[in-house]
Amino acid sequence: MKIRYAVGVDLGGTKIKIGIVTDEGKIVKKIAIPTLAEEGVEKSIGQIKKGISTLLRGNKNSITGIGIGSPGVVSLKKGTVENPPNLPGWVKVHLGKIISNEFSIPTFVENDANAAAIGELIYGAGKDLKSFIMITLGTGVGGGIIFNKKLFRGDFGGAGEIGHVTIDHNGVKCNCGSIGCLEAYLGNNYFIRDVKEKLNDHKDSKIFQLVNDDLNNLTPQTIHEASLLGDKFSKDYINYLGITLGHGLASIVNILDICNIIIGGGVSGFGKPLFDAAKESLKSRVLTSLKPRIEILPAKLKNNAGIKGASSLVFYD
């Protein structure tokens, strides 16, 4: 069968990453350019056009479509992007129309977390699954729900906010305005702050050597490295994160009766110890009839997951 190609646009607050991707999820060419969000909506749209033009030079005829993963609320029908948090001034932008008119190529826009879920469905760990919950652990905790091979978008495309499931309604404040959201425990910045605090009582942790006694250098990678060096505090902390993740996932599985979980994003790099703790904790908390079906899988789209996820929109129907 002939290989088909799509353009994937990963629209971020500071950078736009664009790639040409095969229908098997391989990137054949890619670039990254600044979003220049501070120079206004028109400027950023110009950057997207410029980036796609550069990439398409000499390749245009072989492109099946353009997929764009954008922050904010995306209306599928209209291809509009509304109020993305990191793109000031984008009140309501008809991004799909603008790009398809410019290049005369079918263009699909979707929220970036949803695009990541579709990416796993089309190219990745969800290829052989009928339904799964995708969760991305990074600065925020994002997600997407695939049910019967389709993205579940809810009434207005906002479904799948896995990070804003409550685990403790009297717990830690979340930036979303609520209290005790999963993101307030598993989000990068939240747990780095928590680790810094807890290290006051663990002065013997190997983390101090790894950061040259300056906790400003502390990243999730440091905790990972320390754990691999056998540091008890770091191992315990990763285990605690896994357990907490399992508690959040239990609510979602009980509501949806979808038992396959795919976990991606930088923080998922903690690997097996995180996954094992999450699976055990999740199993211990879901309803009895669901326990035997629980599976947790690592995401397959790692590097350039944003570009690949966006491109997958073209091959998804």
Regarding 117 and contact with a second copy (CB under 8 A), the answer is no
Select from 32, 33, 73, 192 the one that contacts a second copy (CB under 8 A).
Answer: 73
Beta carbon of residue 23, minimum distance to a second copy (angstroms, whole number)? 27
Q: Which is nearer to a second copy, 16 or 181 (CB)?
A: 181
Q: Which is nearer to a second copy, 156 or 193 (CB)?
A: 156
**Contact region for a second copy (CB under 8 A) — 97-105, 164-172, 188-196, 264-272?**
164-172
Residues 87-106 that bind a second copy (CB under 8 A): none
- How far from chain centre, in Å, is Cα 153? 16
Residue 133 and residue 256 in contact, taking contact as beta carbons nearer than 8 Å = yes
Select from 65, 157, 220, 309 the one that contacts a second copy (CB under 8 A).
Answer: 157
Distance CA 191, CA 200 (A): 15
- Amino acid at the residue 108: F
Q: What is the 3-state secondary structure (H, E, C) of 64-106?
A: EEEEEEECCEEECCCCEEECCCCCCCCCEECHHHHHHHHHCCC
Regarding 303 and contact with a second copy (CB under 8 A), the answer is no
Q: Is 173 left (phi over 0), alpha (psi -120 to 50) or beta?
A: beta
Q: Which of 165, 144, 140 lies closest to 154, judged by CA? A: 144
Phi/psi at 166 (5° precision):
-75, 135
Structure tokens, 300: 């397959």
Phi/psi at 20 (5° precision):
-100, 130
**What is the CB neighbour count within 10 angstroms for residue 301?**
22
Regarding 252 and contact with a second copy (CB under 8 A), the answer is yes
Regarding 289 and contact with a second copy (CB under 8 A), the answer is yes
Contact letters for a second copy, residues 27-66 (x by CB under 8 A): ----------------------------------------
Residues 124-153 that bind a second copy (CB under 8 A): 130-131, 145, 147, 152-153
Site residues for a second copy per CB under 8 A: 73, 83, 130-131, 145, 147, 152-162, 164-171, 176-180, 244, 247-248, 250-252, 254-259, 284-290, 293
